[in-house]
């Protein structure tokens, strides 16, 4: 909160000015957001239109052209089975984004439920958050690897492992903003007009605590894409021959001297996706949370 009335008044003016322009307009005039959006849109298009864009089937072997250099038919070369790297990277985006989306949705649901209960009901706060702290004591990626290894390699288990590993962070962020919003005057006013806890929590508190969550979820998406690659790379993700970016990099690792393109291009794909999502998240944060922008100027 700004402390002096003068600042508060100026801040209100600033807020009003911002609110007068529409949300999409503000987003798309934000350069970081736009860059991130275009990058992510590219990856998304690649995943959706994979069967049209990929020049070959992702698992089609060509033993006459193994570890082949990039050429006119295989733009990004081939791997040790003669499979087209470009096609595998394109199909790999489907798996990565699917896992990313699933993790984001599960995180949103469980993170919100857990965080909102902890933030809104004071008695639940301590028990819930200490369990979350316990989970957070493990580095998230190690926890995910351990869980995925225990559950066995599959796409669903990867999603489950990543959800367990990253939900505590989401829950903490939701709890923090619920703690702020629950003290707002309009919550008090709603109580005074006879609203029950469920209505207050969903209609007044959660709706107004969404901005940090949305920003966090874009970062979770990026982290999930990266973590999925890690899980696949060490062999606890979706099993080969499923083309995931981690699998492709992992399989190319043995031929890194002879055929560096196998691992290089999925690596670049991961980098572009993560960069795009992070820029998107930064942009969203700037636009959805103008308060932070005021302070940094």
Partner 1 sequence: MTTPLLSVKGLSTAFGSATVVDRVSFDLAAGEVLGIVGESGSGKSVTALSIMRLIAHPGRISTGSVHFEGEDLLAKPESEMRKIRGARISMIFQEPMTSLNPVFTIGDQIMETLRQHQGMDRAAAKRRAVELLKLVEIPSAERRVDEYPHQLSGGMRQRVMISIALACSPKLLIADEPTTALDVTIQAQILDLLRGLQKELGMAVILITHDLGVVAEFVQRVIVMYAGRVAETGPVGGLFRTPQHPYAEGLLKSVPQLDHVVDRLPAIEGTIPSPHDFPPGCRFHPRCSYAKAPCAAIVPKLIELMPEHRAACIRHTGYEDRQ
Our CB check for partner 1 shows the closer of 38 and 184 to be 184
Q: Does 192 bind partner 1 (CB under 8 A)?
A: yes
Shortest distance, position 247 Cβ to partner 1, whole Å: 43
Residue whose CB is less far from partner 1, 190 or 264: 190
Tell me, what DSSP letter sits at residue 69? P
Candidates 143, 138, 175; CA nearest to 162 is 143
For the record, the structure tokens of 270 come out as 């991961």
Terminus-to-terminus CA distance in the chain, angstroms? 16
- Kindly indicate which of the ranges 75-83, 168-176, 193-201, 233-241 contains the residues binding partner 1, using the contact rule CB under 8 A: 193-201
What CA–CA distance (Å, rounded) separates 90 from 210? 33
Residue (188 or 254) nearer to partner 1, CB: 188
Residue closer to partner 1 by CB (options 25, 199) is: 199
By the 8 A CB rule, do 96 and 40 touch? no
Of residues 1-20, those binding partner 1 (CB under 8 A): 12, 15-16, 19
Residue 214 in the binding site for partner 1 (CB under 8 A): no
Report the alpha-carbon distance of residue 134 to residue 168 in Å, rounded.
Answer: 9
Among 204, 244, 273, 285, binds partner 1 (CB under 8 A): 204
SS3 content of the chain, % helix, strand, coil (to 5): 75, 0, 20
* Contact between 27 and partner 1 per CB under 8 A: no
- By CB under 8 A, residue 184 contacts partner 1: yes
């Amino acid at each position: 909160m700004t402390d002096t009335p003068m600042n508060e008044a100026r801040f209100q003016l600033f807020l009003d000015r911002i609110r007068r322009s529409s949300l999409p307009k503000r987003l798309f005039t934000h350069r970081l957001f736009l860059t991130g959006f275009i990058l992510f849109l590219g990856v998304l298009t690649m995943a959706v239109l994979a069967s049209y864009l990929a020049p070959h089937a992702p698992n089609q072997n060509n033993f006459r052209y193994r570890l082949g250099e990039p050429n006119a038919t295989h733009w990004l070369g081939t791997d040790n089975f003669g499979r087209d790297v470009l096609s595998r990277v394109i199909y790999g985006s489907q798996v990565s984004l699917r896992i990313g989306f699933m993790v984001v949705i599960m995180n949103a649901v469980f993170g919100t439920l857990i965080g909102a209960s902890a933030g809104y009901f004071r008695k639940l706060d301590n028990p819930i958050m200490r369990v979350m702290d316990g989970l957070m004591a493990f580095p998230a990626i190690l926890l995910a690897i351990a869980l995925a290894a225990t559950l066995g390699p599959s796409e669903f288990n990867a999603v489950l492992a990543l959800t367990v590993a990253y939900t505590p962070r989401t829950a903490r962020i939701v709890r923090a903003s619920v703690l702020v919003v629950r003290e707002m005057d309009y919550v008090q006013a709603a109580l005074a007009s006879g609203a029950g806890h469920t209505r207050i929590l969903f209609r007044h508190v959660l709706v107004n605590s969404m901005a940090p969550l949305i920003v966090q979820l874009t970062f979770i998406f990026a982290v999930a894409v990266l973590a999925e690659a890690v899980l696949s790379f060490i062999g606890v993700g979706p099993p080969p021959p499923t083309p995931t970016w981690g699998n492709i990099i992992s399989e190319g690792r043995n031929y890194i001297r002879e055929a560096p393109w196998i691992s290089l291009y999925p690596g670049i794909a991961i980098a572009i996706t993560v960069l795009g999502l992070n820029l998107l998240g930064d942009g969203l944060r700037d636009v959805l949370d103008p308060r932070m922008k005021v302070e940094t100027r």
